[in-house]
Amino acid sequence: MNYDNKKIYSAYLMPSLVLALIVAIVAVMLDSIGIELGYTSPVGLILIALGGISTAFFGARFQYKYNNKSIKDIVSDFFSIKQPPIFYLLVILFLFLDFVGVITGLGFEIDSPVTPFLIFLKAILFGGIEEIGWRYTFQPEMEKRFSYKVSTFITFLAWSVWHILYFCIDGSIYFYSGKEIVFFLIGLLTNCFILSVIYKKSGSLWLCVMTHALINTGAQLSPYVWPLVSVICSLTCIRLACVIASESKKIDVKGLSSKDAAEFFCKYKRRTLRKYLISIGLLIVGTLLLFIISAFSESGYLYYLELTYDMPWLDLIRVYSVNLFIKVWSYSLFGLIVVLLLRREIRCQLILGKILSEDLEPQKYIEVFEKLQGNRKFYRGKITKYFYFTNFYVASFIYEQEYDTALEKIDLMQESTKGRAYQLAGCEYYKGAIAIGKDNVEEAEKCLEKIKELVGNNKGITAKNSRDIIIGLTGEIALKNKDYVKAEALISQRLAGRKDRISKMSLTYGLGKAKQGLGKEDEARKCFEEAAKLAGDATFKLADKIREEYKNCIKTKP
């Protein structure tokens, strides 16, 4: 359903705040006449439920009315625990940075192993459920009109107002000092950035619910959070969230020429390196400044420790805690640098790989690769420094059916693999594919045997990838030998796990040939039609062959 984006204010934000305000006024009035409120009072629980459910209720209502989401869809998203591991790792990274001060300080106060679990369940009901409104509904609508940073800050302002009203409802507002409110708002701003970037990257409501509940659980189990540490952790989390969010934008080099695309990748690496180093530099400088200020300020960190812990036997603990925090924080910053730089390399590889895998432009990939190969700042002058890049480079020649050139590049790859079994197996796979292209089945079978020898003892991810290339080459050999039953089974098995466009196109075409050999003309025609759609207007030899096959199928259709 199309609607004006501004309806997020009238259909979600205002009703949520108004309901919370009404309940807060009722709570204040009841408190003024001596009626007990809070979590231990039946009346208090009713008011807390009414106020706490406001964002979830109006968020769900907004999704139902304007985004065509049923209650079943929302509940499914709320409990969608199965998410890619990379996003759970992102959650762990943010949680560690957020609680590093607690971990290196007094630690978590846990009286029973069951306590954290019970608090977590409670935090989902009295905290995590808010995410239906804020991250699932409000933040994405804000990002349709504003940048990520502005949208997050607007969400933070609205969330802050709602929380103040909620504290009036549960009665905790009467126990907060001005200083505690300030630090709570800093923490809320930090959590706003953490949760928004998790949703922006994953699109998962569950991850936001879980992270929100874990943050609330950790906060309840923390006996004391040092002010300085809290500020440093907040700065780190906010900056990291902004860096990650800035790279969530989809980068498309499809419309660029080979020269322009190569220049883009070189500038991209320089730009992201500069951005990461500036981010880390700011965090280091900020950390040093906060320590210096705290050392000479009566409200500072070291002075506060002296006031809080005046027992002589705790002097050693104080010094140990400060030193431990400095060490752990230093390691964390170093780890953050490594994570960000690795992320930059991986993202660069994925964007470059899409020229072949999604845009279906093997010739352009070849040209861009060769231009980057000559740039020492990008490749350090080594053709096979990055196996992923070279892997696609060789595949591009095979898709263009330039087999002799592909064999030359494979020889270079083999020279630089330094005996790594999986990479050598990848080279043999490409040799086998070339042999199939040249109708040399005997040579392809020799390559298959070499692959099995190389990867026989592989485990983990490499074992999965090894099985994939063995299945792939075995299926191609079966198809060439006209063993269509075996070819159909193996190609179908491999196709089930493919997501990139070029692999789906070539495998669907191969499956069509197998079905055609089995006399399943209708199924074969559907495969050729799907492969032709995937090929689109791509201009390389395999794509041309697929379109020609589909045209012939249409002509012979009874």
- Output the pLDDT for position 155: 96
Q: What's the token pair of residue 281?
A: 């530099």
Contact 341, 247 (CB under 8 A): no
Length of the chain: 558
Q: Measure the CA–CA gap between 540 and 98, rounded to whole angstroms.
A: 51
pLDDT tens profile 185-218: 989 999 999 999 999 989 999 999 999 999 999 9
Q: Which two tokens stand for residue 494?
A: 């491999």
Q: What is the average per-residue pLDDT within 243-250?
A: 72
The residues spanned by each domain of the chain are 7-249
CB atoms within 10 A of CB 259: 11
Using CB atoms within 10 A of its CB, is residue 73 exposed (0-12), middle (13-18) or buried (19+)? Answer: middle
Residue 318 confidence class, pLDDT cut points 50, 70, 90:
very low
Distance of alpha carbon 392 from alpha carbon 441, whole angstroms: 24
Tell me: pLDDT of 265 over 90.
no
The pLDDT value recorded for residue 417 is: 65
Q: Is residue 478 within 8 Å of 490, Cβ to Cβ?
A: yes
Give the model's pLDDT for residue 282. Answer: 67
The most confident of the ranges 11-15, 33-37, 107-111, 243-247 is 11-15
- Identify the pLDDT of residue 285: 72
Cβ count near 44 (within 10 Å) = 20
Q: If you average pLDDT over every residue of the chain, what do you get?
A: 81
Distance, CA of 220 to CA of 116 (rounded, Å): 9
Structure tokens at 297: 């300020």
Q: What is the pLDDT of residue 457?
A: 59
- DSSP state for residue 80 in the 8-state scheme: -
User: 77 pLDDT exceeds 90?
Assistant: yes
- Token representation of residue 455: 């990867």
- Each residue's pLDDT tens digit, 450-508: 888 887 655 554 567 778 888 888 999 999 899 999 999 999 998 887 888 888 999 99
State the maximum Cα–Cα separation within the chain, in Å, rounded to a whole number: 96
- The per-residue pLDDT for range 120-178, each reduced to its tens digit, is 998 998 888 999 999 999 999 999 989 999 999 999 999 999 999 998 888 877 777 77
What is the spatial distance between Cα 27 and Cα 22, in angstroms, rounded to a whole number? 9
Per-residue pLDDT for 21 more than 90? yes
The pLDDT, as a whole number, for residue 9 is 92
Q: Which residue has the tokens 């500036």?
A: 278
What pLDDT sits at residue 381? Answer: 42
Report which of residues 86 and 213 the model is more confident about: 213
